[in-house]
Structure 1
Amino acid sequence: MKADSKVQRRLLDLAAIDTALAQLAHRRRALPERAELEALARELSALEDERVRAQVSVDDLDRDIDRLEKDVDQVRARKSKDEARLAAGTGPARELEALQHELVSLSRRQGDLEDAELELMEQRETAQGVLDGVEKRLAEAREKRAAVEQRRDESLAGIAKEEEFKRAARRPLATDLPADLVALYDRIREDTGLGAALLTAGRCGGCRLELAGADLARIRAADPDDVLRCEECRRIMVRTTESGL
């Protein structure tokens, strides 16, 4: 393939733009906010599991307290009924005496239930404190996630703006160059990441290898308009006064 040497030099401008675009794509993939969000996602998942466990503990205690409260109410109702019958003083003496014994037993039962209920209420207060702490950490983690997402979106918007600027500069440049030369350049770029590189002081700018004497002789003998490629990396080598030929 042949192309005017000046046209070939313009491939370096195209390569510079494509390199910048590749760097922007790398920046998008390697945004530190991505790693932060992944870590926060794991933290939020763990905290949500912890919150569920804490909520289950509170709910279980609430059910136990409610059950005990119902038991206490039943004992109180039975006591009230027995106290009313005892106060009325009607019925055989043996029944009245049995009522007195039952009231003593009910009072003891009520005391035991109320003590158990008090203990559960203290446990619930502790469990609620744990739940409140977890929910606070969840809220803080969510706020942090929102802040990181905002930073990520701002960074992505900045990268997108730079990419559009670079693509806008690339379009007329690529259009102005010979189609077959650009097609070759693009194929090489897709395979290697860099389509063309400057030959500097006898060294390929693509693979950074110093050319052997036979290769340099071949290049020196080539017509200035010949499109030359590196034998090692197969990239287009652009010759200038810096090439050391």
Structure 2
Amino acid sequence: MNAAPADQIRLLDVQALDIRLQQLAHKRKSLPEHAEIESLTKDLTQLRDLLVAAQTEESDCGREQTKSEQDVDQVRQRAARDQQRLDSGAASPRDLENLQRELVSLAKRQGDLEEIVLEVMERRESAQERVAELTERVSAVQGKNDDATARRDAAQGELDAEAASVTKERELIAGSVPADLLKLYDRLREKQGGVGAARLNQRRCEGCRMELDITEFNEIRAAKPDAVVRCENCSRILVRTSESGL
């Protein structure tokens, strides 16, 4: 394949822009905010799970408290009715004696139920405190996550803008490179880890960083200026410049 020396040198400009696009893509992918957001998102998930559990416990305690208070109220109402019957004296001595025993039993039952109410109230208060604490923690972590997301989006926006500019420049320069030469370059670039063309610096290929043996170097020296030469070690296009030492 033959191509004008100027076109081959222009290929180095395309290569430099492709490398910059690779660097921008890598930088975009490896922004520190990605790991920060991932960690904060994990924390948020755990905290929200804990918050839901605490809210569920508080809700359960609320229902349990309501039920216990209703039980206490029922016992109080029954005791009040029995006390009213006892105070009226409108019953046989045996019934009055039974009422007195039942009032004692109801008083004990009421005391037991009130203890249950207090215990449930304490558990509910503890759950409410836990809900408040977790709500505050979720809010704080969410704020950090929002901040990290904003920083990530801003950084990505800057990188994307630069990538768009570099892409336009690349299209402009690549458009002036002969199609067959550009096709070979693109094929080699894809095969060789993003580098399809490299400068020949003295006897060293800047693509694979290996020094050409003297025989290969002499062959390149003898080649016509428009000949497209390749590195024997990495197969990349070797671009000859004034620094090649030919």
> What count of residue pairs does the alignment treat as equivalent?
245
Partner of 2:163: 163
Distance in 2 (CA, whole Å) between partners of 1:91 and 1:6 is 123
Instruction: Tell me how far 1:220 sits from its aligned partner.
Output: 0.9
Q: Indicate the larger mover: 93-102 or 206-215.
A: 93-102
CA distance in 2, matches of 1:235, 1:186: 11
**Number of the residue aligned with 2:220:** 219
Displaced runs of 4 or more, over 3 A: none
CA–CA separation in structure 1 for the residues paired with 2:230 and 2:69: 89
* Distance in 2 (alpha carbons) for counterparts of 1:222 and 1:168: 34
| More displaced stretch, 135-144 vs 48-57 | 48-57
Q: How does 1:1-80 map to 2 (within 5 A)?
A: 1-80=1-80
Structure 1 residue 37 displacement after superposition: 1.6
Corresponding residue number in structure 1 for 2:235: 234
1:175 counterpart residue number:
175
Superposed CA RMSD in Å reads 1.3
The within-5 A match list for 1:203-214 is 203-214=204-215
DSSP 3-state at the match of 2:91: coil
Aligned to 2:120: 120
User: d(CA) in 2 for partners of 1:59 and 1:194?
Assistant: 63
Give the distance between the partners of 1:185 and 1:47, measured in 2 at CA.
52
The equivalent residue for 1:101 is 101
Structure 2: give runs of 5+ residues left out of the alignment: none
Rounded to whole Å, the distance in 2 between the matches of 1:63 and 1:35 is 42
Instruction: Give how far 1:244 is off.
Output: 2.0
Residue 146 of structure 1 deviates from its aligned partner by: 1.2
In structure 2, how many angstroms separate the alpha carbons of the residues matched to 1:182 and 1:31?
A: 32
**Distance in 2 (alpha carbons) for counterparts of 1:226 and 1:51:** 71
Report the Cα offset of residue 175 of structure 1.
1.0
Write the distance in 2 (CA, Å) between the matches of 1:50 and 1:234.
Answer: 59
Match of 1:241, SS state, is coil
> What are the equivalent positions in structure 2 for 1:135-174 lying under 5 Å apart?
135-174=135-174
Unaligned runs of 5+ in 1: none
Shift of 1:53: 2.1
